[in-house]
Amino acid sequence: MPATIAAIQGALPEQVLTNDELAALYEGWSATKILQKTGIRERRIAAPGECSSDLAVRAAQNLFQSGAARPDEVDFLLFASQTPDYILPTTACLLQDRLGIPKSTGALDFNLGCSAFIYGLSLAKGLIAGGVARCVLLLTAETYSKLIHPRDKSVRTLFGDGAAATLIRSDTVEHIGDFVLGTDGSRYRDLIVAVGGMREPKSAVAPAEQTDESGNVRTAAHLHMDGPAILDFTLTVVPRLVSDVLARNGMTMDQVDLFVFHQANRFVLDTLRKTIRIPAERFYINVEDCGNTVSASIPIALSRAHREGRLKKGDKVMLVGFGVGLSWGATIVEWGMDPATA
């Protein structure tokens, strides 16, 4: 059974963290410098008691209130997050109850970050093609701010919290194309929170703070990103990924109406666009007021591009995710949604 993206809605926390606030913390860094390096002016931050599930609920409620679907139509719920509410139970099970989705619905979590939306689409398409489901709700939500040391400017300037709800329905026409997926687990330490799982559990004694050569402070229980290594990975993998997904779908660059990549930061996106030679008018960037929202970045960008009129029904859209894992994935979808009314 073919599948289509029927609706997308995003949700962001209320609290705003501006470049001016960050510049006051980091000596030698001005708000202008942060904007020039990242393309990000502000990012949204979850409140102390606000979890990824809370943001996911808001995104899903926005979707239901739009009239795209009713909760009782959903027959499978997928939740992608690297900041779940609990180690167990599965957050998707909590979301089924909170959203009033039928108990006959399948529900599962998967732990993947920057590529999660692509993987989630592939799972939803497979569930529909296999006859397991007809209406899949894919929720992607992150509160990475809770993993970041306040004095680690290398990541605190980049990441914001957010969520998105995407509805994938069965259709008579295949609107979601073929996928290219990949993994290089040998480089897992390039983007990691080392302490807190079963391999290195948290202890009663807090891990020691360490300061790197750039003055960033963190502990082993905080997010660590090797920026140069991740950039090298990105510039190596993504251009080839774009070529591979075009070939897999029997298309050329000129046939793609809009390219929506994982919204890492403006520097990375501009570098990729120039390397791959994508015209600026067909390349969507959405980081200035929300930052890198990890698994939610692509669907939030799609929702905004649709609302801004950058997407029209029938457009071919290339979606590309890459990052933590290390992992990557891409597909090409035919946009099936009518023009936005708001």
Active site residues: 114, 262, 292
The CA angle 69-75-78, to the nearest 5 degrees, is 95
Number of neighbouring beta carbons within 10 Å of residue 147 = 19
CA atoms within 13 A on the CB side of 302: 35
Cα 133 to chain centroid, rounded = 23
Q: Compute the distance between CA of residue 123 and CA of residue 181 in angstroms, rounded to an integer.
A: 12
Q: Which residues pair with 328 in a beta bridge?
A: 182, 322
| SS3 of the chain: helix, strand, coil, percent, to 5 | 35, 25, 40
The SS3 assignment for 69 reads: coil
Query: Could you tell me where the beta strands, DSSP code E, fall in the chain?
Result: 3-11, 15-18, 42-45, 76-80, 106-110, 135-142, 162-170, 176-183, 191-192, 210-211, 217-218, 224-225, 258-261, 316-323, 327-334
What is the 8-class DSSP label of residue 159?
B
Dihedral sign for Cα atoms in the order 182, 187, 193, 196: positive
Which one-letter amino acid corresponds to residue 143? T
Q: Compute the distance between CA of residue 236 and CA of residue 141 in angstroms, rounded to an integer.
A: 27
Residue with token string 């570098």: 271
